[in-house]
Structure 1
């Protein structure tokens, strides 16, 4: 996901910003964040979330 941010969007994945992605079916949201020591990745399933 960090490579996608860097190559496709020409953004810096190490900038400390949150990057959000949705799947092809748009039923999940993925978040990517660099905290200075490593990447945090979180996935939220929107089918079960209300």
Structure 2
């Protein structure tokens, strides 16, 4: 029973970490799309983040 609880805890922890990584990647892409999109200034489009 104890090993099953440990395995379940590790599985839930791995799932939570995976979700956090996924949302971080989506957030970075969203910020890049907003900052480097059609309404961005030329300086913003040439910035380090938009390259």
Pick the structure with greater CA Rg: 2
TM-score range, shorter chain: under 0.3
Higher relative CO (Cα under 8 Å, sequence separation at least 6) belongs to: 1
What TM-score comes out, normalization by structure 1 length?
Answer: 0.18
> Structure 1 or 2: larger helix share?
2
What TM-score comes out, normalization by structure 2 length?
Answer: 0.18
